[in-house]
């Protein structure tokens, strides 16, 4: 019984830290996945950035914890990092850190799904082959199976 109370208190403390900008691992991972996906074909379009930002702003947990301008700041930072190879490697480390830090499966899946949505053509749902290769790398980093997402 006391163990459950500790877990609840820890979860509340984590959310409070997130609201104060102290624990932004989840937000950074979502933004890193979106930026890495957008960079997959070698060209980060403004549409991809806007799509990633909109998806993260609509994310149930992120929108409950973070203010809109905080989300925008993190997304902007991650997309700027994705402009070169060294920055993309740092973004990959963000994803690795979340997985190694014991992130829950839902967060890893959300990172992948946002990345996939950033790459997909809004009208057809098709993904450029180069971006698909990038999505495959992201899925591997996150330990998710793309076949699990059929919708």
Question: At the top level of CATH, which class does the domain 2-144 belong to?
Answer: mainly alpha
Which pLDDT tens digit goes with each residue over 113-150? 999 999 998 889 899 999 999 999 999 999 999 988 87
Classify residue 100 as exposed, middle or buried by CB count within 10 Å of its CB (0-12, 13-18, 19+).
Answer: exposed
What pLDDT is attached to residue 103? 67
pLDDT band at residue 102 using 50, 70 and 90 as cut-offs: confident
d(CA 115, CA 30): 8
Give the pLDDT band (50/70/90) at residue 12: very low
> What value does the mean pLDDT take over residues 50-64?
95
Our measurement of the distance from residue 67's CA atom to the centroid of its chain's CA atoms, rounded to an integer in Å, reads 17
Per-residue model confidence (pLDDT) at position 18? 46
Residue range 42-69: mean pLDDT, rounded = 94
């Amino acid at each position: 019984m006391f163990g459950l109370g500790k877990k609840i208190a820890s979860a509340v403390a984590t959310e409070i830290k997130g609201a104060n900008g102290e624990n932004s691992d989840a937000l950074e991972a979502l933004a890193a996945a979106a930026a890495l996906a957008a960079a997959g074909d070698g060209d980060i379009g403004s549409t991809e950035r806007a799509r990633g930002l909109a998806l993260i702003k609509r994310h149930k947990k992120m929108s409950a914890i973070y203010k809109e301008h905080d989300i925008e700041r993190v997304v902007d930072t991650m997309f700027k990092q994705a402009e070169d190879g060294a920055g993309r490697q740092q973004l990959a480390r963000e994803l690795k850190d979340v997985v190694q830090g014991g992130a829950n499966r839902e967060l890893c899946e959300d990172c992948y799904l946002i990345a996939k949505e950033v790459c997909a053509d809004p009208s057809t749902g098709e993904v450029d082959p180069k971006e698909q290769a990038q999505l495959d790398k992201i899925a591997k980093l996150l330990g998710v199976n793309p076949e699990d997402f059929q919708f």
